[in-house]
């Protein structure tokens, strides 16, 4: 029992509720949400430290022991992701002080931001599969509101599609939970793992596993990513950045959780399919990233590629691959948010998101340009930045698992990632300067500091890999060996 675990969920939701009462006092809202996020990060890091020293922490809601009550579990994987989401959210929040505009701030931007964070950290920490659905919905409903906030035509149009896709996938989620409950008679993830191991994962359970795969793939943008580029290019910068940083990652987390804890008995069926889906995602994402010459579209397709790459680590299912996937996941949360923020700053300055219409920004915005460059090479995995270690480990794991084709695809798409981001860099920052400082549509004043935080973190993750590696190792160990998780929750 550790009551600290519930704080990453309670703190943002309480802050969000309080913020509603200050809807017209923007300064109060800004300070309150900033302080709350700082406290969130403090709590999250102390949870990480506790898990590191004392092992997996659990909290039984209302004192009901599992498998009957709802349980919150903080293992290393979940708590690291909670901490990273806190940091990413902090940068995006800081960016939105100048980047989001007064109208949106007045119409409950900050409360929804906090509710989104509640849903994200709740999904990471819960140990009950129906509760996972509930937190998914908390997150999704806030994201519907955030994506349409401002109600421009393009936002309304894309929100309808995003909403329909997510309602259908949520319905499928509940349906698969129902089937799972009919077969096993429990919803607690640890207990599910025990029971699935007892009855053996055959026929029906494989079908349920594949239904979960479809549901989480829709949320994560794995193969079924058709909704993603449109939805992620509609909302304003800081919202798109928090979506790119957090939302798809929650889907990936759910995939990792279910397919390492519950449905890990028949990798030749499930993990094989996951592998193929990951490969297809990488290829299709790469095609999209090359095809478009619109900053937002290129970045959105890069989100898709990264999803495929991380899930490839899951499909390989060796210790090295899972370690690499965790490392790359954390790196990707930081870098994707950073790239969207920088891309948003670029679009703000140039007044267009079309690459052919901008150019030479680096002349008047050198810091922005070089930060974009650093983010680009970190994303592609050039050492010593953070992307490299994750990539190396995943490729190593893939080779051990003898998935040569997928390793080849992932390395080839890495080059394409580098090409597509460099295309943005070269067209946007180099070449003839098209706008003099007076003609620019916006400024980057106040927007660069939050990005610098993330750049620094990316450097820290890359150079201080030795320092972070023990944490990643513990996280991967828990994922590879479900008994650790089960014993911590059920305490047999």
Partner 1 sequence: MEILMSVVIGILFMVATYLILTKSLLRIVIGTGIISHAVHLLILTMAGVKTGSPPLLGEEAALYTDPLPQALILTAIVISFGVTGFFCVLAYRAYKELGTDDMDQLRGNEHE
Residues forming the site for partner 1 (CB under 8 A)? 130, 133-134, 137, 141, 144-145, 148, 151-154, 156-157, 159-161, 163-164, 167-168, 170-171, 174-175, 177-179, 181-182, 187, 233, 294, 296-297, 353-354
CB of 153 to partner 1, least distance (A): 6
CB of 350 to partner 1, least distance (A): 13
Could you tell me the sign of the dihedral formed by the alpha carbons of 380, 382, 386, 388, in that order?
Answer: positive
Q: Cα(401)–Cα(396) distance, rounded to whole angstroms?
A: 9
CB of 130 to partner 1, least distance (A): 6
With residue 57 as reference, give the H or E element that holds it. Answer: strand 57-60
CB of 261 to partner 1, least distance (A): 20
Please, are residues 309 and 398 in contact by the beta-carbon 8 Å criterion? no
CB of 180 to partner 1, least distance (A): 9
Would you list the DSSP string of 277-312? HHHHHHHHHHHHHHH--BHHHHHHHHHHHHHHHHHH
Considering beta carbons, is residue 20 or 175 the nearer one to partner 1?
175
Considering beta carbons, is residue 69 or 470 the nearer one to partner 1?
69
Q: Cα(252)–Cα(213) distance, rounded to whole angstroms?
A: 10
CA dihedral 32, 334, 120, 286 (to 10 degrees): 140
Structure tokens at 445: 């004043």
CB of 353 to partner 1, least distance (A): 6
Q: How far is CA 111 from the centre of its chain?
A: 20
Helices (H), 351-447: 366-380, 386-400, 404-429
The three-class DSSP label of residue 253 is helix
Q: Cα(144)–Cα(70) distance, rounded to whole angstroms?
A: 27
CB of 300 to partner 1, least distance (A): 11
Considering beta carbons, is residue 57 or 142 the nearer one to partner 1?
142
Q: Cα(52)–Cα(54) distance, rounded to whole angstroms?
A: 6
Considering beta carbons, is residue 57 or 159 the nearer one to partner 1?
159
Instruction: Give how far Cα 180 sits from Cα of 207, 250, 315, Å.
Output: 10, 21, 22
CB of 313 to partner 1, least distance (A): 32
Considering beta carbons, is residue 11 or 163 the nearer one to partner 1?
163
Considering beta carbons, is residue 51 or 163 the nearer one to partner 1?
163
Considering beta carbons, is residue 34 or 183 the nearer one to partner 1?
183
Please, are residues 107 and 261 in contact by the beta-carbon 8 Å criterion? no
Please, are residues 44 and 83 in contact by the beta-carbon 8 Å criterion? yes
DSSP state of 65: P
CB of 182 to partner 1, least distance (A): 4
Largest CA distance in the chain: 71
Considering beta carbons, is residue 351 or 408 the nearer one to partner 1?
351
Considering beta carbons, is residue 137 or 440 the nearer one to partner 1?
137
Instruction: Give how far Cα 318 sits from Cα of 265, 322, 404, 457, 470, Å.
Output: 14, 6, 14, 27, 17
Considering beta carbons, is residue 133 or 301 the nearer one to partner 1?
133
CB of 241 to partner 1, least distance (A): 17
Considering beta carbons, is residue 54 or 62 the nearer one to partner 1?
62
Considering beta carbons, is residue 123 or 410 the nearer one to partner 1?
123
Q: Cα(240)–Cα(449) distance, rounded to whole angstroms?
A: 18
CB of 260 to partner 1, least distance (A): 25
In angstroms and rounded to an integer, the radius of gyration of the C-alpha atoms of the chain is: 21
CB of 247 to partner 1, least distance (A): 16
Would you list the DSSP string of 152-209? -HHHHHHHHHHHHHHHHHHHHHHHHHHHHHHHHS--BHHHHHHHHHHH-S-HHHHHHH
């Amino acid at each position: 029992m550790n009551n600290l675990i519930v704080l990453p969920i309670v703190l943002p939701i309480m802050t969000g509720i309080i913020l509603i009462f200050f809807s017209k006092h923007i300064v109060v809202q800004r300070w309150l949400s900033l302080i709350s996020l700082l406290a969130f990060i403090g709590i999250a890091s102390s949870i990480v430290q506790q898990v590191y020293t004392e092992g997996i922490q659990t909290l039984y809601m209302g004192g009901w022991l599992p498998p009957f009550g709802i349980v919150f579990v903080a293992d290393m994987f979940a708590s690291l992701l909670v901490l990273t989401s806190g940091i990413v959210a902090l940068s995006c929040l800081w960016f939105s002080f100048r980047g989001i505009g007064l109208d949106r701030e007045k119409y409950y931007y900050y409360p929804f931001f906090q509710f989104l964070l509640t849903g994200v950290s709740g999904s990471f920490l819960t140990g009950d599969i129906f509760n996972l659905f509930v937190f998914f919905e908390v997150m999704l409903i806030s994201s519907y509101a955030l994506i349409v906030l401002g109600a421009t035509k393009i936002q309304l149009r894309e929100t309808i599609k995003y909403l329909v896709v997510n309602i259908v996938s949520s319905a499928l989620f509940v349906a698969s939970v129902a089937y799972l409950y009919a077969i096993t008679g429990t919803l607690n993830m640890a207990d599910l793992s025990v029971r699935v191991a007892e009855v053996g994962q055959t026929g029906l359970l494989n079908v349920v596993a594949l239904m979960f795969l479809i549901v989480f793939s829709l949320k994560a943008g794995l193969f079924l990513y058709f909704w993603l580029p449109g939805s992620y290019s509609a909302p304003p910068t800081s919202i798109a950045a928090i979506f790119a940083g957090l939302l798809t990652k929650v889907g990936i987390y759910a995939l990792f959780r279910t397919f390492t804890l519950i449905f890990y008995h028949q990798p030749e069926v499930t993990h094989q399919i996951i592998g193929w889906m990951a490969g297809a995602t990488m290829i299709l994402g790469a095609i999209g990233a090359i095809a478009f010459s619109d900053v937002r579209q290129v970045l959105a397709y890069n989100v898709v590629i990264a999803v495929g790459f991380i899930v490839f680590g899951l499909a390989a299912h060796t210790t090295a691959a899972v370690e690499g996937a965790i490392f790359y996941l954390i790196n990707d949360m930081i870098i994707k948010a950073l790239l969207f923020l920088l891309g948003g700053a670029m679009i703000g300055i140039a007044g267009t998101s079309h690459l052919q219409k901008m150019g030479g920004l680096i002349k008047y915005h050198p810091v922005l340009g070089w930060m974009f460059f650093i983010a680009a090479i970190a994303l592609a995995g050039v050492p010593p930045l953070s992307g490299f270690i994750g990539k190396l480990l995943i490729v190593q794991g893939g080779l051990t698992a003898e998935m040569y084709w997928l390793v080849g695809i992932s390395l080839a798409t890495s080059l394409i990632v580098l090409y597509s981001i460099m295309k943005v860099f070269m067209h946007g920052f180099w070449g003839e300067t098209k706008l003099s400082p007076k003609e620019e549509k916006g400024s980057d004043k106040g927007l660069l500091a939050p990005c610098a935080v993330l750049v620094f973190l990316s450097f820290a993750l890359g150079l201080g890999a030795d320092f972070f590696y023990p944490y990643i190792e513990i996280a991967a160990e828990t994922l590879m060996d479900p008994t650790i998780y089960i014993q911590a929750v059920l305490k047999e």
